[in-house]
Amino acid sequence: MKIGEKLRILRKKLDNINQIDFAKKLGISLKTYQNYEASVHPVKLDTINALIREFKVNPNWLFLNKGSVFLNSEETSSFTPDEYWKDGYDLTDYELELIKEQFLSSSNMKKAVLKLLRAKAKKHEALSEIESIVKDLAESV
- The mean pLDDT value for 56-79 works out to 75
pLDDT of residue 76: 53
**What is the average pLDDT across 69-79?**
66
Give residue-wise pLDDT tens across range 85-112. Answer: 666 667 788 887 777 776 656 666 666 7
CB atoms within 10 A of CB 43: 24
User: Rounded to two decimals, what is the model's pTM?
Assistant: 0.55
7-19, pLDDT tens digit by residue? 999 999 998 899 9
Helices and strands in the chain, H and E counts: 9, 0
